[in-house]
Amino acid sequence: MTQHLLDSVSLPADMLWTDEFNWPTVIRSTEYALTGALIVDAGQRLAGRPITLAGSVDGGWITRATVDALRVLACALPGQVVLTLADGRSFTVVFAAEDALTAEPVVAFSDPGVDTWYVATVKLIEV
């Protein structure tokens, strides 16, 4: 596969997963008991992993038509979609609550067409 696929929207494979290794699967919290002993609680995270796909000025550009398709997809209910990465891995995701989609034109035009190139960031959460 040469592209990522978010539901039915194709994204270039050079939109990089920028936070792939920033999410620990084990979480821990510590506190002290009244006796002074350290209590460590640990658990395995089952969901909630952020998946941020980002283009840059050097590549991973998408067209305005793709930005519009992503915007429509982000507003759809119930909101769960399948993300299949170019390497074949697949995740069930929802769009993040804050700044789920941001896009800036590579070159600003006063009246951009559907084929105008954009640098975009898509923020998803694995469910």
Domain boundaries in the chain?
3-126
Using one digit for the tens of pLDDT, what is the confidence trace for 71-116? 999 998 888 999 999 999 999 999 998 899 999 999 988 888 899 9
H/E stretch holding 65 reads helix 64-75
CA–CA separation, 125 and 127 (whole Å): 6
The chain-wide mean pLDDT, for the chain, equals 94
Q: Are 94 and 7 in contact (CB under 8 A)?
A: no
What is the topology classification, in CATH, of domain 3-126? Elongation Factor Tu (Ef-tu); domain 3 (2.40.30)
DSSP 68: H
Indicate the pTM of the whole model. Answer: 0.86
